[in-house]
Amino acid sequence: MSIPNKVRFALVGAGIIGNQHGTVMRELADELDLVAVVDLDRAKADKIAAQYGGTVYTSLPEALAGTDFDAVAVCTPTGAHAEVAIEALHSGKHVIIEKPAEVTLAKTDEIIAAQQQAGTLVTVISQHRFDPSTEIVLEAIRKGELGRLTSGIASIDWWRGQTYYDSGDWRGTWALDGGGALMNQGVHTVDLLVAALGNPVEVFAYTATLAHERIEVEDVAVGVVKFESGALGVLHGSTAAFPGLSARLQVHGDKGSAVIDNDKLTYIHTTPQGTESTEAFFGSSGPSNQLDQYDLGNDRAAAAGANPGQLSDAHRHQYLNFLAALRGDEEIRVGLAENRRSVSVILAAYESARTGQPVSLRQSGTAQPKDQTS
């Protein structure tokens, strides 16, 4: 499938996250066109199209029949991602899928099979992989500047009021949300933990619903993850932490540590290869923060015409990677396989909470949350 100078997009799902994708598409108007907006609720689609352009449709088949486009952005409720993505792939389209790819590994694997058959490109939104803070930490790990990785913490201390869950009948359901604090709100931070610490092999977790009513899923989850390297990770996800604090990643090794808080690198200390790490008595305060040695991306954001840290800026970099991959200039940095690995940790946490047992990812690649089928 040849790609024109400006990639033509169809946006499927005109809710909050669909509006976010519309914002990114407008900001990248030199490189892409939004030519179709699809939603079962025509009024929502009309609103998005009025802001960002495109012909309105109420189904993807209708859009496929009515407008030519090259790629589809899937922004429906998570449990409907596979249906839309597979239909787009069967039509030969490239696809961007909002996180996570799907609510089960079985459905994710169906998307993978469809992509392999189509031979087109798929990326799953994991925009924080593209944050300067993440790139700095992952590069330090790759260079061995944190030494042997020993542990990590993924913590999401957020609040969602009852009105959030009551705002849509799909919210807080296993079938369409796929889970609560971990799957919906925490998936990005879990993804960063996995990107940093490597292949996860076992999970043990507890979950609870403590601060909300009329939802099937958890608003608090805690757990531990064992990684193939021997490193241990801690999971903490909450939408019951009033008034809402931050999403935080900590990565620790025997030669360095790093902390990302609310997408910003707030602490890093590394030991370059070939040098000795500085010992601190008991490590009570540890060596100094080396933050001032790193480019935190403000120049990159300014060059792109954005404010550092704004939501559209985070998505923009992943869109730019996708567009570059379509041109053959780059590889897709976050594909279905990477997303599947992160989601497998979350699904294993739900299975562990249900059974009270550790879940081996080597043996249980199909762990499902309670009351949910694949």
The beta strand positions in the chain, using DSSP E, are 7-12, 32-38, 55-57, 71-74, 94-97, 122-124, 149-157, 200-208, 220-227, 232-238, 247-253, 257-261, 264-269, 359-360
Residue 65 lies in a domain: yes
**pLDDT digit string (tens) for the chain, length 374 residues:** 566 689 999 999 999 999 999 999 999 999 999 999 999 999 999 999 999 999 999 999 999 999 999 999 999 999 999 999 999 999 999 999 999 999 999 999 999 999 999 999 999 999 999 999 999 999 999 999 999 999 999 999 999 999 999 998 999 999 999 999 999 999 999 999 999 999 999 999 999 999 999 999 999 999 999 999 999 999 999 999 999 999 999 999 999 999 999 999 999 999 988 787 766 655 556 668 899 888 887 555 444 444 444 445 789 999 999 999 999 999 999 999 999 999 999 999 999 999 999 999 985 444 433 333 33
Tell me, what CATH number does 106's domain have?
3.40.50.720
Residue 15 lies in a domain: yes
Boundary residue ending a domain (92, 127, 162): 127
Residue 250 lies in a domain: yes
In the three-class reduction of DSSP (H, G, I as helix; E, B as strand; rest coil), residue 55 is classed as strand
User: Alpha carbon of 245 to those of 17, 49, 86, 320: distances in Å?
Assistant: 21, 34, 37, 30
Regarding whether 258 and 142 lie in a shared domain, the answer is yes
Boundary residue ending a domain (247, 265, 297): 297
The total domain count for the chain is 2
Domain with 36, as residue range(s), is: 7-127
DSSP codes, 216-238? SS-SEEEEEEEETTS-EEEEEEE
Regarding whether 139 and 121 lie in a shared domain, the answer is no
Residue 262 lies in a domain: yes
User: What does DSSP assign to residue 296?
Assistant: -
Regarding whether 112 and 18 lie in a shared domain, the answer is yes
